[in-house]
Amino acid sequence: MPAPTSASASASASASAPASGPATAPAPAPSVVSVSVAVLRAEARLFAREPGAWFWIVLFPTALLTVLGLVPAFREPSKDLGGLRVVDLYVPVALLLSTITAGVQSMPNVLTGYRERGILRRLSTTPARPVALLLSQVVLHGAAVLVSAVLALAVGRLAFGVALPRQPLGYAVAFVLAALAALATGTVIAALSRTVKIAAAFGTIVFFPTMFSAGVWAPVQTMPQTLQTIVQATPLGAAARALGQAAAGDWPDWTLLGVSALWAVVLIAVSARWFRWE
């Protein structure tokens, strides 16, 4: 009786198909991209709930620029600065300051906390990978730094008449390399710190030298020659100088861009080597 047998077989197969997938028709697992997008979306919502991070990364650099811009003497062109005003020099400094607060202060604490509280470990029990969480944090902090940069350039231009960069592409390249190096510094801090407390202490130790090298206290152009040479060997010191050149309309020195890029590569390699997921 071939007909009834095959009929019942196909009936049972179609009945069991929706219930027990793997044996019959394995649906494709969600792709790495769609899983990463889901993680990024969740992390973006969480990032939006951190007003402290927003303040320090997005608002604080422009607030500092505004305060300095309100000092009348800082709006006077100076011969020592090659005809530029102090407020002109502080626009790139504001950009670099936001890469520092994002990369050195905010991100390492988030990542170290995720590891300390077992969030990375929990994620590693699912088909998602904890690296998706790390990359989401890098992307979100990078985006916040970008928003901060646009805000500083806009306020500088509109409130204080600071000219927009005359070599925009070179400016963008120098800025992206600086942001990469700063965020990579953050992943190194997170890699080497076992607890949030250690990460915060480590971040503070790194915070002041990087701010100094970025020219927060005195723009790099105003430093004595020897000090300039030293500072330009640091990722943000080199970027500060490169941003100054691009603002004036020149393509930045390849050596300066190379210094920032090399730092970024080395720091990424260090964190990839030492980062612990649990």
Partner 1 sequence: MPIIEVDGLRKAYGNRTVVDGVSFTVGEGEIFGILGPNGAGKTTTVECVAGLRVPDAGTVRVAGIDPRTDRDEVRQILGMQLQESELQAKLTVREALELYSAFYRRPADWRPLAERLGLTAHLRSRFASLSGGQKQRLFIALALVGSPRLVVLDELTTGLDPRGRRDTWALIEEVRASGVTVLLVTHFMEEAQHLCDRVAVIDAGRVAALDTPSGLVSGAASPTVISFTPSEPVGSGELEALPGAVSVRERDGRLTVDGTDETVDAVVSLLARRGITARRLRIADATLDDAFLDLTGRTPASVPAPFPAAPAAAAERGEG
Find the DSSP H helices in 27-167.
32-48, 51-54, 60-69, 86-100, 107-116, 119-124, 130-160
Q: How far is CA 219 from CA 60, 97, 117, 136, 260, in A?
A: 18, 12, 40, 32, 17
Cβ-based nearer residue to partner 1, 96 or 140: 140
CA distance 52 to 61: 13
Cβ-based nearer residue to partner 1, 21 or 258: 21
Q: Residue 130 Cβ, how far from partner 1 at the closest point, in Å?
A: 11
- In the list 122, 157, 194, 197, the residue contacting partner 1 (rule: CB under 8 A) is 122
Tokens representing 36 are: 């990463």
Instruction: Please report, in angstroms and rounded to a whole number, the separation of the first and last CA atoms in the chain.
Output: 61
- In the list 3, 127, 158, 273, the residue contacting partner 1 (rule: CB under 8 A) is 127
Q: How far is CA 264 from CA 15, 30, 57, 126, 226, in A?
A: 56, 32, 20, 31, 24
Q: Taking phi first (over 0 means left), then psi (-120 to 50 degrees means alpha), and beta for anything else, what does residue 167 get? A: beta
DSSP type of residue 205: H
- 17 sits near partner 1 (criterion: CB under 8 A): no
CA distance 261 to 268: 11
Q: How far is CA 36 from CA 8, 32, 58, in A?
A: 43, 6, 25
Tokens representing 221 are: 């152009």
- 121 sits near partner 1 (criterion: CB under 8 A): yes
Span 22-41, contacts to partner 1 by CB under 8 A = 22, 26-30, 34-35, 38-39
What is the x/- site pattern for partner 1, positions 44-83, by CB under 8 A?
-xx--xx---------------------------------
Cβ-based nearer residue to partner 1, 116 or 253: 116
CB 190 within 8 A of CB 112: yes
Amino acid occupying residue 197 = K
Cβ-based nearer residue to partner 1, 139 or 270: 139
In this chain, which stretch among 64-72, 95-103, 123-131, 146-154 interacts with partner 1, using CB under 8 A? 123-131
Q: Residue 24 Cβ, how far from partner 1 at the closest point, in Å?
A: 12
Cβ-based nearer residue to partner 1, 190 or 206: 190
CA distance 278 to 144: 27
In this chain, which stretch among 83-91, 113-121, 139-147, 244-252 interacts with partner 1, using CB under 8 A? 113-121
- 124 sits near partner 1 (criterion: CB under 8 A): yes
Q: Residue 184 Cβ, how far from partner 1 at the closest point, in Å?
A: 23
Q: Residue 223 Cβ, how far from partner 1 at the closest point, in Å?
A: 42
- In the list 56, 114, 160, 175, the residue contacting partner 1 (rule: CB under 8 A) is 114
Residues lying near partner 1 in the complex (CB under 8 A): 21-22, 26-30, 34-35, 38-39, 42, 45-46, 49-50, 114, 117-119, 121-122, 124-128
